[in-house]
Amino acid sequence: MCARVSSVPDLKIPYKVTGYQLKSTYSGNAGSELKPEAVVHWRLCSDVPSGFGVGLLQVLLHTLTLDSDKRPAYSWMKAKIERIMPRIFEKYAGPDVLAYLDKADAATIKQFEAAIKNRPEEGAWLFYNKPCEVKPVTIDPRAQGFVYYIDHIVNQFYLGCETPLPRLFSTPGFTEASARAALDLQDMLIKPVQRYVKRQVEREIFLPIVVQAGCDAAKAKVRLNFGSPETPELNPADLIKAAEQGLIRAEEFRKNAVKFGWELWDTTNATKETPK
Instruction: In whole angstroms, give the CA distance from residue 126 to residue 110.
Output: 13
Q: Does a structural domain hold residue 172?
A: no
Mean pLDDT value of segment 131-146: 69
Q: Does a structural domain hold residue 243?
A: yes
Query: Within its chain, how far is the Cα of 198 from the centroid?
Result: 22
The number of residues in the chain equals 276
Q: Does a structural domain hold residue 272?
A: no
User: How high is the pLDDT of residue 45?
Assistant: 61
User: How high is the pLDDT of residue 149?
Assistant: 81
Q: Does a structural domain hold residue 46?
A: yes
Number of domains in the chain: 3
Q: Which of 84, 111, 131 is the last residue of a domain?
A: 131
Residue 77: other Cβ atoms inside 10 A: 19
User: How high is the pLDDT of residue 204?
Assistant: 85
Instruction: In whole angstroms, give the CA distance from residue 204 to residue 40.
Output: 8
Instruction: In whole angstroms, give the CA distance from residue 28 to residue 265.
Output: 72
C-alpha triplet 109, 121, 114: angle, nearest 5°: 20
pLDDT tens digits, 95-104: 666 667 777 7
What backbone phi and psi angles, to 5 degrees, belong to 172? Answer: -65, 140
**Domain assignment of residue 31, given as a range:** 2-54
Instruction: In whole angstroms, give the CA distance from residue 110 to residue 113.
Output: 5
Instruction: In whole angstroms, give the CA distance from residue 246 to residue 240.
Output: 10
User: How high is the pLDDT of residue 7?
Assistant: 46
In Å, what is the CA distance from 32 to each residue of 2, 25, 42, 169, 246? 11, 14, 22, 48, 61
Q: Does a structural domain hold residue 40?
A: yes
Q: Does a structural domain hold residue 121?
A: yes
* pTM exceeds 0.75 for this model: no
Most confident of 1-5, 54-58, 100-104, 188-192: 188-192
Instruction: In whole angstroms, give the CA distance from residue 269 to residue 273.
Output: 13
Beta strands 2-7 and 28-34: pairing type?
unpaired
Q: Residues 167, 169, 170, 171: is their CA dihedral positive or negative?
A: positive
Residues 6+ apart with CB under 8 A from 70: 63, 64
Q: Does a structural domain hold residue 176?
A: no
Beta strands 2-7 and 64-66: pairing type?
unpaired
pLDDT tens digits, 235-260: 888 888 888 888 888 888 888 888 88
User: How high is the pLDDT of residue 108?
Assistant: 82
Q: Does a structural domain hold residue 37?
A: yes
- Residues 135 and 98: beta-carbon distance below 8 Å: yes
DSSP code string of 152-176: HHHHHHHHHTT-SHHHHHHSTT--H
In sequence order, what E strands does the chain have? 2-7, 15-24, 28-34, 64-66, 69-71, 97-101, 132-136
